[in-house]
Structure formats: structure tokens, C-alpha cells
Amino acid sequence: MASKNPEPALSNSTAAFNTGQVALNTITDIVNIYIPLIGDVKLLVGEIYQIYENAECNKEICKIMTNRVKTAESSIDLIVRNMNDEGGDFRKKSYYSAFKRFENILIKIKDFTKDVSKLKGFKSFLSAKEKLIDEFENCMNDLNFAIGAYNAVNREKDSQKVDKALEDVNQLLSNLGDDANGIARDVGIIKAQFIKQSGEVRVEKIKENDLENPKYHDVRGSVVKKIYKSLRIDVACKPESKYHETELAVLGILGQSPYILQFYGLTTLNNQQIMVTAWAENGSLKELYNSYDIPWTRKIQMIRDMCRGISYLRTVNIFHHDLRCENIFVLHKLSIKIGNFICARKVDADHLSKLNDLYTNIISWMAPELMEKCKEFSKTRKKIEDIYTFNCEMFSFGMLMWELCYAKVPYYGWNMSKIIKHVLKGKREDVSKGAFVNSDDKEIQIEFINLISKAWIQSPDLRISITELSHKLEELAVKYPIIHGTAQLLKIVPIEEGIKLHANGDRDGAFKSFNQNSELPLAKFWMGYYYLNGYVINLYKHY
């Protein structure tokens, strides 16, 4: 039987034809042709890993793909170190072709990972992943990379993780309502029109005579309550000139979501341009928690709905950038809506200078990596890539959860420098457990402490994903429902009134007041007094 002919090495002519480079007759020739290619491959590996770090959903799928390419990177480092070994396989045309094929597969893996890492691209087919892994491993075998075969057991484990990840994402998106895809499509159309400068972007214009005064005049700062006659609804009229026409058009569509404050259009009142939005009967969430003690079961519902709203924004590739209770609005029946999108821009927009202007307002909710970038920008004024990722948004949401749970602004009374130093050292706000008469309230606070701690982790890629957070909040909402007939809100009783209640023998009412005002030194004294004398134990027995 005739022996198999050895594979020809790259000659001058074939090298020139196939690669446009010189013949691979020396180590220098090999280095010249392969080093740029290896550099491109390593760059792709780095980009894939960065996508995994910034993934907002399907992290398990991204991790599976990333682990594969990171292992390959180690093999690349090894063969580069051994490149001086007489050239080895590097002289073969098939080896160069395999390397080029490997680069192309990495590009496909990068695109696939990028798609599934976003809520917007969650529907990418799983079959694509399996095909990519097969192509990837076959190519690595051709390259003689030092990597073990991906056995059936590992494949089965990965398959289970992928199924769970997609199940969570599907559940999250189903919770957003049937209109999610339609809204995403409409927002995409408006953005496309803006990019093309087609002039087709239009914001709804409301005639002044279509607005009338309500029976009782209601003015809150610059916001005036009106009645939108054609819809017979209460609306808020506020002077506004900071938004671009396109952004207002997008807001009009986003408001179709039950979790986003509805923008109805622009009008003119007293020769001034006015934004017309849904009327928030109970003001902002910050105003609400300053005036009322919000039941813990209600907090679950509110935070769950905010999570749904953030998820909605991600389906249309929008970040809010300023998540705090002051920008969450509370309507009739305590339904909450995310509003104030003045900081929101398309994800890849270069707007760090705008964030810098608002630095003092949002610093208490800002992620540490964003603090670092803002500091760098302040010094150099140079454009910074990847300014804001979903991990930044998740950190801010964690701070918002803390703010609502503890009913106060994070780091209240601290100056900016102290906050930045504190956060960059990995330190956070206090998450001490409160004193509760109701055991369910105690359990709910512990659940929130766990979620908050996962959301504000120092390392961005280790923070909780939006799908995991959503799944947990939906579970809590089912486990701790709002009982029909219970008080929706509890008016905060001033500490002075609590002392009077104590003097009159109403220890139950007094303790509630002290607990509501537990951040005040005087309230802390009285709570300590109640614990010391065993009054709290008796209150627990009473319940």
C-alpha cells in the first residue's frame, strides 16, 4: 500500500497565492505571518470575555462559550512559546487555513454571545450554540491544541444550565406583557428615522384648550395638575426643554408599558412649552417613604414592578442612568412608574459629560467602576469606551432597593469625596436588620438584604443578573402577597407623638413610632429602653 505523501510546506508561490506573504522558509517568515493572526485571535478572545462580564442575561450560556475560548487562548500561548521549534506545523498550508477558520469561528462566537447576553437578543437559536461548539472543537483538533474532549457529561450539565437560563428569560419577558415586542419595534423605527434624519419623527401635540383645570387646584412646585379632556384623565403639566424631539417620541411609546410613566405629548401654556405626562397622585417614591411607613409586602410589589420596568427598557436597548426613588412615581392605587429619563441615552452614546454635570445628584447610587471613569474623564476630558453597562444599572438598582427598604437617601449627609472613597474601598451602606413585630416582615427584609448584597458587589461581572433578580422577586410576590383589607400605607408617627403614646400606656403605638423613626438618636434610646424592659417581647406575644 502506497504511503501517504507528506503535506507540502508553503512554498514561495503558494504562500504568495494563499496569504500574500513571503515563503515560510525561516522562523522569521513564520513569525511575520502568524503573529498578526494570533494577535487578532487573542483580541477576539478578550472581546468575548468582556461580553460575558457585561452580560445582563443568559450568563450561563455566555460562560460556556467563554470557557471554551479562554482554554483555547492558553493553548495559543503555549504554541507561541514553542514557535522556534523548527516551525513545526506552522509550515503547512492546512495549518494556516485551520487558523484562519478558527478566527472566523471566534467571530461567530463573539456575535452569538453578544446577542444572547442582551434581553433584546434572547431568541437566538440554541442550535447555533451547539453547531458553534462542534466547529470550534473540530478546528482546535486540527490545530493540535492541548484541550481535552468535551465529554457527554459536561455537555449534559451545560444543556441543563442553558435550559434554566432560557426558562428564566422567557418568564421575565412574559411578565412584561404581550406588547413588549411591538413597543421594541416602534422604538427601533423611531431610532432608525432619527439616524436617517428623515424628518418623520413626530411628537404628539396637545391643544391648550384640550386641557382643563380640575375641581381642586393642585400645584406641586413647577408641576400643575390638569384634566386631559379627550381621555378624561388627570395629567401633570411641567415645563421642559431638555429633551430632544426623538427622545420625546421614544418616551411616548415607552409609556405604553405599565411600568413606565406615560408621556402624552407637548402643549403650550402661557407661551411656554409644557410636557404632559400621567399624574402621579402620590408624588415620587421618595416623597411617599418620607411621609408613610410602606408595608414590606407592598415594597416587594413595588420593587418587582421596577425590575419589570428596567427589563422593559433593556428590550429596547435603553438605560435609565438615574435609578433612585426620586425618579419613581406613585400613581393611584400605589402603582409605580419609572420616570425622568433626562439621563437616559442609547447605550453606546458618548454622554459622560452629561453624567458629570449630574455627578453630585447621582453619586450615592453610582457604581464604583463608573466613579472611576468619571474621575478619569474629569482629569483627561478624553472619550472613554464602555462608559455604562448593565452592571452599572444593576448597582444603582441595588442602591434604590436599599433606599426603599431603609426609607432614606444612601449616605445621607456625606460629602462627595467621602462617598467615593467609601465605595471604591468596597464598602457600602449599613444593612442591619430591623426590629419587627410581624415575623413575615423580618423574613422579607432578610430576603431583600440578600438581593441588595448581590446587586452592589464590587466586581461588576459578579452582580446578580436581571433574570435571576426578576425570578426571585416574582417568587417573593407570590409568597408574601398583599392581604386584601390591610392598610395600604401607615402614616409615620412623629417621635414626639410616640413619646406621648408611651406616657398614655399605648406601648404598641409608641413602639411603632420609635421603629419608624429608628434613625433618630432619641428613637434609638426609646427602642433600647423597650428592649431592656422586655416590652418588645410582650408585644411579640400580643401578636
State the average pLDDT for the chain: 77
For residues 32 and 71, membership in a common domain is answered with: yes
Examine the domain organization and report whether 341 and 394 are in the same domain.
Answer: yes
Instruction: Report residue 56 as a C-alpha cell.
Output: 445582563
334 lies in some domain:
yes
Last residue of a domain, one of 250, 278, 306: 278
CB-side neighbour CA atoms (13 Å) of 377: 20
What is the residue whose three cell numbers read 390638569? 226
What is the domain range of residue 528?
493-542
Are residues 347 and 314 located together in one domain of the fold?
Answer: yes
Domain of 331, CATH number, reads: 1.10.510.10
Same-domain check for residues 163 and 247: no
Choose one of 251, 278, 305: the last residue of a domain. 278
On whether both 350 and 309 belong to a single domain, the answer is yes
Residue 527 confidence class, pLDDT cut points 50, 70, 90: confident
Question: Across 417-505, where does the E strand assignment appear?
Answer: 490-491
Q: What Cα–Cα distance (Å) separates residue 169 from each residue in 64, 188, 453?
A: 17, 21, 22
Verify that 57 and 99 share a domain, yes or no: yes
* 189 is a domain residue: no
**In this predicted model, what pLDDT tens digit does every residue of 313-329 receive, in sequence order?**
887 778 898 999 999 99
Tell which of 115, 140, 175 closes a domain.
175
pTM of the model: 0.70
On whether residue 270 sits in a domain, the answer given is yes
Identify whether residues 133 and 252 lie together within a single domain: no
For 439-487, the pLDDT digits (tens) are 899 999 999 999 999 999 999 989 998 888 999 999 999 999 988 767 6
116 shares its domain with 220: no
Integer-rounded Cα Rg, in Å, for the chain is 29
Q: The domain spanning residue 227 has which CATH number?
A: 3.30.200.20
Residue 51 lies in a domain: yes
pLDDT tens digits for 223-258? 999 999 988 999 999 987 677 776 777 787 787 788
Range of weakest confidence among 24-28, 184-188, 232-236, 382-386: 184-188
- Cα 438 to chain centroid distance, Å, stands at 32
Contacts of 166 (CB under 8 A, 6+ apart): 58, 61, 122, 126
Asked if residue 343 is part of any domain, the answer here is yes
The answer to whether 407 and 290 have CB atoms below 8 angstroms apart is yes
- Domain shared by 18 and 139, yes or no: yes
Residue 309 lies in a domain: yes
- Is residue 435 located within the same domain as residue 499? no
In sequence order, which residues have a C-beta less than 8 Å from that of residue 128 and are 6 or more positions away?
Answer: 112
Q: Where are any strands of DSSP class E within 290-397?
A: 292-293, 328-330, 336-338
Residue 505 makes CB contacts below 8 A (sequence gap 6+) with: none
Determine contact, residues 451/464, Cβ cutoff 8 Å. Answer: yes
Residues 414 and 516 in one domain: no
Beta carbons within 10 angstroms of residue 409's beta carbon: 18
Asked, for residue 9, whether it belongs to a domain, the answer is no
Asked, for residue 182, whether it belongs to a domain, the answer is no
Same domain, 522 and 405: no
Distances (CA, A) of 256 to 93, 179, 304: 58, 8, 18
Q: How many domains does the chain have?
A: 4
The alpha carbon of 467 is separated from its chain's Cα centroid by a whole number of angstroms, namely 10
